């Protein structure tokens, strides 16, 4: 198990509820710097994770007290599934305690061509179960399996997470290598 990833998710689970003034904070109140795959704009935050866990949904769908542990995937091999998960925190809510989040999804092959390019996909719309500053999983999951003929090399995942009520967009990026 990747201990850094476990530590990251423990720290992030503690800090997502401490999102204020445009940055993530650890349990001691120290800000985490933005990265390509985890950032905030104003008070809205988003994060991407590529995992090789086929049971990621079971790991995620637990009580709020349970901290999920995901195995990060930086390398994919033909015939093995990987999953890109999108997370968000602190969306603006309407009077009914509802959020409206969409996203643009793009996956770019090593040769620069697009495997996926979709705009304004529903990421989350409706009533939040819990506080808005908790960590939530967005609806789209990008499932990927390397097939014969797929180009090897670095595949890039670009997501633009949009809080439509706040009129804020967060560009997020991560990548994996297909071998």
pLDDT digit string (tens) for 96-123? 999 999 999 999 999 999 999 999 999 9
What would the two tokens of residue 87 be? 């997370």
Q: 71-101 burial, b for 16+ CB within 10 Å, e for fewer?
A: bbbeebeeeeebbbbbbbbbbbbeeeeebbb
What are the angstrom distances between the C-alpha of 114 and each of 50, 84, 118, 151, 169? 18, 16, 10, 12, 21
Instruction: Please give the pLDDT value at position 148.
Output: 93
Instruction: Please give the pLDDT value at position 24.
Output: 66
∠ CA 149-155-157, nearest 5°, is 130
pTM confidence score: 0.86
Chain Cα centroid distance, residue 88: 7
CATH 2.60.40.3880 fits domain 3-178:
yes
Task: Give me the residue spans of the domains in the chain.
Answer: 3-178
């Amino acid at each position: 198990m990747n201990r850094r990833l476990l530590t990251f998710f423990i720290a992030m689970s503690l800090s997502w509820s401490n999102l204020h003034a445009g940055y993530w904070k650890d349990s001691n109140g120290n800000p985490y710097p933005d990265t390509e795959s985890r950032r905030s704009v104003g008070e809205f935050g988003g994060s991407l994770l590529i995992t090789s866990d086929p049971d990621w949904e079971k790991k995620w769908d637990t009580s709020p007290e349970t901290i999920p542990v995901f195995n990060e995937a930086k390398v994919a091999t033909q015939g093995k599934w990987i999953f890109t998960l999108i997370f968000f925190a602190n969306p603006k809510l309407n009077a009914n305690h509802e959020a409206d989040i969409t996203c643009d999804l793009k996956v770019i092959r090593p040769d620069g061509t697009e495997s996926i390019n979709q705009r304004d996909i529903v990421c989350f719309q409706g009533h939040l179960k819990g506080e808005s500053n908790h960590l939530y999983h967005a609806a789209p999951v990008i499932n990927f399996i390397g097939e014969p003929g797929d180009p090897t090399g670095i595949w890039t995942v670009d997501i633009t997470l949009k809080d439509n009520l706040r009129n804020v967009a967060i560009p997020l990026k991560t990548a994996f290598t297909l071998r």
